[in-house]
Amino acid sequence: MWKNLNALEKRTMIGCFAGWSLDALDAQAYSFVMPALLGLWGISRGQAGMLGTVTLLVSAFGGWFVGMFSDRYGRVRVLQITVVWYAVFTFLSGFTQNFEQLFVCRALQGLGFGGEWAAGAVLIGEVIRDEYRGRAVGIVQSGWAIGWGAAALLFGVVFSRFPDALAWRIMFWTGLLPAFGAIWMRGKLREPEASAPARQAARNTSVAAQIGIIFTRPYLATTIKAAALATGATGGSYSFVVWLPTYLKTVRHMSVIGTTAFTTVLIAGSFVGFLAGAYLCDAIGRRRTFMVSTIGSAIMLVLYMGISLPDNLMLVLGFPLGFCAYMMFSPMGPYMTELFPSAIRGTAQGFCYNFGRGIGALFPGVIGLLGSMLPLGGTIVAFGVSAYAIMLIAIALLPETAGRALDAGAPSVPASESEESYRRELSTDSR
């Protein structure tokens, strides 16, 4: 595939891959510092869960509005702003002195964190040609595993060499790295030409009209189902990923090195899962890939945390758990790109994915509250499996889009009529 891409497609893939990697480095840093904060600040599991939840919850709103602004002002420009935003607030988190200050920084980080996916996924989905879209977006998504792996390795090195009181701050300070990626993007990436008419149409209307169109016919049903799909995927992964280091340390009583080893196996599985999902979504279709991944994730989560297993067997099972749980994210970007026409793509994709992320963000917080009264492992399994059940329902109700040209799949009416209807509606609202 790579040799058949043109220069712009390759640069866009590289830029978005780096963005996803550094995004994951920032996002996953908190899960590794959480055990240290539990001891240093004496916060409860419920408060720790709130710190994990607030970033993801605010990211739902950030992604929605950033997606809308990317429809109005361009994917690349808005992507650069969001990358700098979340990098700065991750960095500032390392200077906080108490729960309240970190809560504010984590919330503000969420605005950019949600927006990076909204603008980046649409950008690469529009730049890459139809026949390569699934594989390209899926490969870019695998950058998340690279960033997550970097966070795990950084955790092992930093917490082994520095006292906890300093190590957790260093983890957050490294979050400034993505800001340098935004500088590279400015000179190497450019806006997709196909989205230029849509940007002009969006700028000619009110923000309220642009936001509201995804909740009207013929888009409303697709909006609801796509949001449910994202809710299941993100809720399932957040249920165990946010709490995994804490579970390994407090329930399985593992050291820093042991926690790093188990997390690294899970991350390795997720990386291979991202790549497998990228190729499978073009080979067998988006829906079948979702189905295989969702059922496999539920089964592996029950085995991994729902059954008392020896440490060595649990270590091995981390790979297939990561493989199944992250395979589903590879088709997510191209699938949502194909479900909506270009005039509302950023708004719709930003809302659907980040609404799901916001609802899924509640899971770690609730798990933290219940985990104080119930076994942590069983609570994680219950919420994770429930999330995957929601995803299965959404998959059954949504159409297959593999091989579909962009703007050929607006629900209920032909794409050309949908696009024209949308522009007429925007024009009417602006008057």
**Per-residue three-class SS string for 256-307:** HHHHHHHHHHHHHHHHHHHHHHHHHHHHCCHHHHHHHHHHHHHHHHHHHHCC
The two three-digit tokens of residue 181, written as one number = 């990626």
The 10s digit of each residue's pLDDT in 148-169 is 888 888 888 999 999 999 999 9
More confident residue, 47 or 134: 47
pLDDT of residue 425: 44
pLDDT of residue 201: 66
pLDDT of residue 202: 65
pLDDT of residue 413: 36
Mean pLDDT within 390-415: 73
Residue 416 binned pLDDT confidence (cut-offs 50, 70, 90): very low
Mean pLDDT within 370-384: 83
* pLDDT above 70: percentage of residues in the chain: 88
Q: Within 45-192, where are the H helices?
A: 45-73, 75-93, 99-127, 133-141, 143-161, 164-173, 178-188
Helix (H) or strand (E) holding 210: helix 207-212
pLDDT of residue 277: 93
pLDDT exceeds 80 at position 1: no
**What one-character DSSP code corresponds to residue 405?**
P
pLDDT of residue 195: 61
The 10s digit of each residue's pLDDT in 19-53 is 778 778 877 788 788 888 888 898 887 788 788 77
Question: Rounded CA gap, 223 and 341, in Å?
Answer: 12
Non-local (6+) Cβ contacts of 140 within 8 A are 13, 16, 17, 20, 120, 124, 333
pLDDT exceeds 60 at position 207: yes
Question: Rounded CA gap, 201 and 203, in Å?
Answer: 6
pTM above 0.85, yes or no: no
The two three-digit tokens of residue 234, written as one number = 């993100």
Mean pLDDT within 327-332: 91
Half-sphere exposure of residue 231, counting CA atoms within 13 Å on the CB side?
21
